[in-house]
Amino acid sequence: MKRITSFFKSLRARIFLLSFSLGVIFTVILSFIVGFSYKREEINSEILSVSSQARIINSAVVTTGYINGTDNESVRQAIEFSAQALSGRILVLDSSLKVIKDSYSLYEGKTVIWDIVLQAAGGESASSNDEKSGLLAVAVPIIDDTKSSSAKDSTVIGVLLFVKQIKKDSDNSSAFNQLLILFLFFDIIISFILAWFISKAIMKPVNNVATRIDSVTKGLVENELTPDKYTETAKIYDSFNAYANRMKTLDESRQEFVSNVSHELKTPLASMKVLADSINSMPDAPVDMYREFMGDITGEIDRENNIISDLLTLVRFDRKKAEINISQVRLNTLLEEIMKRLRPLADKASVELVLESFRPVTAEVDETKFSLAISNLIENAIKYNNEGGYVHVSLNADHQYFYIHVEDNGLGIPEESVDHIFERFYRADKSHSREIGGTGLGLSITESIIHMHKGEINVHSVLGEGTEFVVRVPIHYIADDADEKQKDFKI
């Protein structure tokens, strides 16, 4: 039952039904055309035999003067004989279209003014066939060509009307109809077989695609799928390969992330273990040493904590629909608060912290997230700085975007590292970063937050001279489904 249902839902069933119906429809139309031509042919042959009989009667009628009222037994007999031979009725009409002879002797003396009779009186043979009554009528002009030698001058002196009831199911046509039915029956069988094979042949490449994709999915075939000879299936293979490559890249980056996370989480643990083992192996160590080691262990615990909380923040942002609570935020105030919070850190590192607001800016942002993003930038500018250095933060805006610059004259970033600093766990200067408690996740978090706001972040740095981060974000929040036409943004 399931197999039957799945067959009827398949593309093959549709192709089969389509080819089958086309086959049958084509034959039915063909049968109609053949049947119609056959009938026409039947009528035409009937008209032909009437015409030849008409010629015989015509000369008899003219030469004997029968048409002018001269009774002639042999002409009458000839007419009746012809009517019998043609299995119909013959009427002879004079020039005023009055019947002078009816082989059925019913219409004599009456006038017949049918269309075809009028046409024949004009000199042209005419016929009519009434499908409903099955009545075939042929009118032939009776021409007196004895008076003139040229056919042009011949005059129509009467009309010969032949009427015949054509049997709807004559022997011939019923045999023909039987033949048609047989033809139709064979056609149905042939169409069925052909449609079956056509649908199978068309679906073969598609089924092959499924089999080959299956084998790749099951890991039986490692390589990419090789292109196919058909355009459509080749496209499917291309798309599948692109998809498989994307999955591969994703999987690789996930594996790399997991191994980075494990490594980062293990490092503080390893340090703690070394410190704890050292204390354990020295039972008589002085209290100061214990304190120092315990202080180091606490430092490592803090580091582990920072990594875990940064990781959690990142994972939260990674979720497709990270919640974003947009509100109107006065950015000048927000920056002042961040500066106030980070001032003790700057003082400790002897770094000067300056905020320059070019104009009051109110924008639609998620206050908590945005504050975290900018804090990370300013914190880095303080951390990766020299004693006596400065951090310059500025806020500006145009009618569409606001801009935040975070500039320092600190350590700078090596050229080869600039493109990587937004990667997770990437640190340009590993030892220094670790020393100051960096997790390598801060800029990834900042970048995620800026992108959530449909903004851009760019960096410009010279090693040994300093670094500048520029953030550009739309003043009015652009929801995900809105058109995201953004200009290229480079500093």
Alpha-carbon span 56 to 59, nearest angstrom = 6
DSSP string, 397-424: E-SSEEEEEEEE-SS---HHHHTTTTST
User: Concatenated DSSP letters for 6-27?
Assistant: HHHHSHHHHHHHHHHHHHHHHH
Give the shortest CB-342-to-ligand ADP separation in angstroms.
Answer: 13
Strands 362-366, 401-408: pairing is unpaired
From the CB of 307, what's the least distance to ligand ADP, in Å? 9
Q: How far is the CB of 453 from ligand ADP (least distance, A)?
A: 19
Q: Which structure tokens are listed for 368? A: 């908590």
Phi, psi torsion values for 147, nearest 5 degrees: -75, -35
Smallest separation (angstroms) from ligand ADP to the CB of 220: 42
Nearer to ligand ADP, 102 or 304 (CB): 304
- Residue 109: exposed, middle, or buried by beta-carbon count in 10 A (0-12, 13-18, 19+)? exposed
Residue 194 CB coordination number (10 Å):
16
Q: How far is the CB of 337 from ligand ADP (least distance, A)?
A: 20
Please give the single-letter amino acid code of residue 161. L
Candidates 93, 117, 195, 381: give the one binding ligand ADP (CB under 6 A): 381
Stretch that binds ligand ADP, among 162-170, 232-240, 374-382, 394-402 (CB under 6 A): 374-382
Question: Least distance in Å: CB of 6 to ligand ADP?
Answer: 53
Q: Which of 435, 20, 64, 416 is nearest to 193 (CA)?
A: 20
- Which part of the chain contacts ligand ADP (CB under 6 A), choosing from 124-132, 205-213, 285-293, 376-384? 376-384
Provide, rounded to whole angstroms, the least separation between the CB of residue 265 and ligand ADP.
15
Q: Tokens 């035999």 identify what position?
A: 49
Nearest CA-CA partner of 58 in 152, 160, 210, 148: 160
CB 127 within 8 A of CB 190: no
Q: How far apart are CA 46 and CA 164, in angstroms?
A: 9
When the beta carbons of 116 and 411 are compared against ligand ADP, the nearer one is 411
Which residue, 166 or 349, is less far from ligand ADP as judged by CB?
Answer: 349
Helix, strand, coil abundance in the chain, percent, nearest 5: 55, 20, 25
DSSP annotation of 224: P
Segment near ligand ADP (CB under 6 A), from 177-185, 189-197, 204-212, 406-414?
406-414
Q: Please classify residue 466 by burial: count the beta carbons closer than 10 Å to its beta carbon, then call 0-12 exposed, 13-18 middle and 19+ buried.
A: buried
Backbone angles phi, psi at 342, to 5 degrees: -90, -5
String marking each residue 34-73 x if it binds ligand ADP according to CB under 6 A: ----------------------------------------
Residue window 192-231: x/- pattern of binding to ligand ADP, with contact defined by CB under 6 A: ----------------------------------------
How near is the Cβ of 222 to ligand ADP at its closest, in Å?
36
Are 184 and 28 in contact by the 8 Å Cβ rule? The answer is: yes
* Residues 303-323 as b or e (16 or more Cβ within 10 Å = b): bbebbeebbebbeebeeeeee
| Closer CB to ligand ADP, 384 or 477, in the complex | 384
- Closer to ligand ADP by Cβ: residue 156 or 265: 265
Size, binding site for ligand ADP by CB under 6 A: 23
Q: Which stretch binds ligand ADP (CB under 6 A): 212-220, 284-292, 404-412, 472-480?
A: 404-412
Contact letters for ligand ADP, residues 422-461 (x by CB under 6 A): ----xxxx---x----xxxxxxx-----------------
Backbone angles phi, psi at 400, to 5 degrees: -115, -40
Complex with ligand ADP: residue 377 or 473, whichever CB lies closer:
377
In whole angstroms, the minimum distance from the beta carbon of 447 to ligand ADP comes to 9
> Min. distance of Cβ 310 from ligand ADP in angstroms?
8
Q: Which tokens in the block code for residue 451?
A: 């992108």
Judged by CB under 6 A, the residue of 380, 456, 473, 477 near ligand ADP is 380
Q: Rule CB under 6 A: is residue 408 a binding residue for ligand ADP?
A: yes
Binding mask 409-428 for ligand ADP (x = CB under 6 A): -xxxx-------x----xxx
Residues contacting 268, CB < 8 A, separation 6+: 300, 301, 303, 304, 307
Which lies closer to ligand ADP via its Cβ, residue 338 or residue 441? 441
Q: How far is the CB of 275 from ligand ADP (least distance, A)?
A: 22
CB of 433 to ligand ADP, least distance (A): 4
Provide the residue type at 463 as one letter: L
Residues 284-323 that bind ligand ADP (CB under 6 A): none
Q: Which is nearer to ligand ADP, 164 or 383 (CB)?
A: 383
Site of interaction with ligand ADP (CB under 6 A): 376, 380-381, 384, 408, 410-413, 421, 426-429, 433, 438-444, 467
